[in-house]
Chains A and B, each alone.
Chain A
Amino acid sequence: MTISLKPNNSSPEKLQPTGWLKYLSFSLDHKVIGLQYLVCGFLFYLIGGSLAGAIRVELISPLSDFMPREVYNQVLTLHGTIMIFLWIVPVVNGAFGNYLIPFYVGARDMAFPRLNAVAFWLIPPSGLMLITSYFINGAAQSGWTAYPPLSITTPAAGQIIWILSVLLLGGSSIFGGINFIATILKLRRPGLKLMQLPMYCWAMLGTSILVVLSTPVLAGTLILLSFDIVAHTGFFNPSLGGNVIVYQHLFWFYSHPAVYIMVLPAFGLVSEILPIHSRKPLFGYTTMVFSIMGIVVLGLVVWAHHMFTSGTPPWMRLFFTIATAFIAVPTGIKFFNWVATLWGGKISLNAAMLFSCGFIINFVLGGITGVALAQVPFDVHVHDTYFVVAHFHYIVYGGSVFVIFSSIYHWFPKFTGKMLNENLGRFHFIITFIGFNLCFAPQHWLGLNGMPRRVAEYDPQFQLINQISSVGALLMALSTLPFLWNILQSTLYGEEAGDNPWNALTPEWLTSSPPPVENWDGEAPLVLEPYGYGKKDSNETQEAIR
């Protein structure tokens, strides 16, 4: 097999089903694959969201009365696993990465189109396998962290299926990561320097480095765990002389960077959206690039902050406190730069902008509680409580999910050639924002006051706050309805968008909407200033690029 870094324009593989059927085929077109990731991810999001709903219904009353306790733990495990491995990671990386990166580097496809298709097609079967384990013999019930010895002593079938599907999903993301690194570094249009790339490329480069370095560690760990389960080896099994803490170190060596695998691409997407809708250059391009790389480096060395209560020696606690807290510095730079990007702009308050700004506000709160959690004495009290549940949902929902919605509002015209309804979009934002904060803000209090996480029953004194939280979750669930309606309605009858409805300068907008199979009819435009707003009239800049 020869692998060509220059996709061949006339290869017969490009002759593929057309119409909507192409989305159910082994398409090699990066745009098709991107949308496959997006739609598939969204379907899993609906499943993961329903499971979250079930959890919140159980927690309306202090007793375990809505579902059996084993089922609660299965639902909880499935919810966490689906949301991370089948929704956020595939969508912020796979979906937008595949769709946008070739445009941004001026290529006609990804470096390895076939590998790309394989990476996507690993996802639906592993996801289905994970979910069907619930009906076969009961899904895994040891949480998405699968700490031994619990994961060794709970029923094996579900846990093994869980391991298999996470391994496949990990493989998928490694394939994706390799592909992004190769595409960004090797397929750049001649004349385009790294420091002229749109910020999302940098975010994806950083993310892919994390993926390639840390996911194999998770894979190895889970393989050892599966040996412990099926072959009764004793790597992590204390009754056979194994060490349970070693698993935690290995697991978090992947899973802490995984947080950045979920938010760094989101940072990149926001950096694309804010300049366009505030008609200003991205503020501080260079510091933005360095802060991404700073986050990558620091992100790799802070994993043990998840283990402050698991018997780590004091020096380790200190080191990991300081290293963790320092991530606030590069992250802070990005947030100040975004606000500076808004400053003095001509801001359109459309749905994409609102979701991005909602992201900034939510993530700042999630980041603040994160720095607090990095402090050992503080963490010791709230570790494994609802304070942590609140903190990470502010990061993954208030961060990544808000950005995914923002990105859908922003790129939908590119995907389909149709506009989304802005008023419905703003309505969607308002309900989501209120519901989200109502659901997760009170949980900080719950954790501080004594409610542990992953429990189906709790002290009755926490009932009122849990009910408020559940009402928030209901609002969030309802808020998907105007969104789905908007997508459906606009895809079918939406207003024509034209090629470049936002009057943007980034390369994907300088072709037709939706773009042709080869991305550009003629040669790819050479965009050296993707954020050149305000220079002269940006219309002229656009003409000049063409």
Chain B
Amino acid sequence: MTQSLLHQILDYANRADPYPLYEELRRTPVHHEGGDGPYVISTYYEIRSLLHDPRISSDARNLASQAGDPLPEAPQGEGALPPGFLKLDPPEHDRLRRMTNRPFGPPHSPRRVDGMRPELHDIVTGLIDGIGDPGRIDLVEQFSYPFPVTVICRLLGVPREDEARFHVWADTLAASLDPDPDADSAERGKGAHDARMQLGMYLAGLIEERRKNPGDDMLSQLATAEGEDGPMTTMELLSTAALLLIAGHETTVNLITNGMLTLLRHPDVLERLRTEPRLAAPLVEELLRFEPPVQLVPQRTTLADIEVRGVTIPKGAALWLVLASGNRDPKRFTDPDRFDPDRPDIQHLGLGSGIHSCFGAPLARLETQLALSELARRLENPRLLQDPPPYRQNAVLRGPRELQIACDGIRP
């Protein structure tokens, strides 16, 4: 039996290069394989307008049929964390995101992210200094994972030593985002639920401490904040903290690894970056278009019957927005499969758009710009030992599980 297009996209066998499948998908901009299956949107303009469409909900409780939801929702009940603001609609979403933004960005904390520059630089330097044998580097393990984890821990005020504990929970939760239609949904739901519970309990302990001894980290600020929106409830605080902790590194790891992989496949650009530090910013934008770490947004539903390109999507349907496909839509970008950091006009969908656009975008951008520039500057004659590298299972948060590279030495 030939696999449906959706199955093929989710099939691990196609993880290393899903782009030909996306191209096929774009031939049917509203792709539906029947029944409770999702309506899959793959073209740039349609995705962008749906991201700004107030008839689209991020709250899974608005799905007509929970059975049709490929994402196992943690059972609600005793001790369950409420959904983070990523999975909420306004006004709750707006309130929580606004409150979270207070200690993070403008207008209240305009220099928070940029102020971390020297600190980020030190972390990057330390990691590169500690690489050891330049003949065999796993970039993921030695660099692209530890870097954002260290950063998010410092930002939130989570002890770096606890990484081993929350790593397991974070992995489970990230995996639960993967819409694998063949996996046992109840089983995975339970796993995700347990991981969330444990992460919640862990964070509850931390927050308790921060309340007593506030520092200048975000957890302390969130726990003690009293703005126009009042304080967050403990449960809101826990789910927000969990969201920040997980989203704060699961995506940046992939962005940095995808970035280095792309650069190693385009040595001319890598060489330019070495000598032209100003290339870093446009290069990261192009990277977000070309190999976005979040490939698709699988958790949206319709609050009304809506028409997209002549197709009526019924109220309560599951909606998938394939950002990575929209980013390579030839109707929007000329020569979309070419990696070109000199593109003059690049309004990509890599960080989403609309009210749910990536909360951590300024930090992710800065981290990746610094990381790639420093790697380009310091690694001598770097090359890939395996291409393509092995990928992680996840089709949503797509990225290499490891990236084996070698270089001739590490420049000071």
Q: Do A and B share a complex? A: no
Chain B contacts to A: CB under 8 angstroms: none
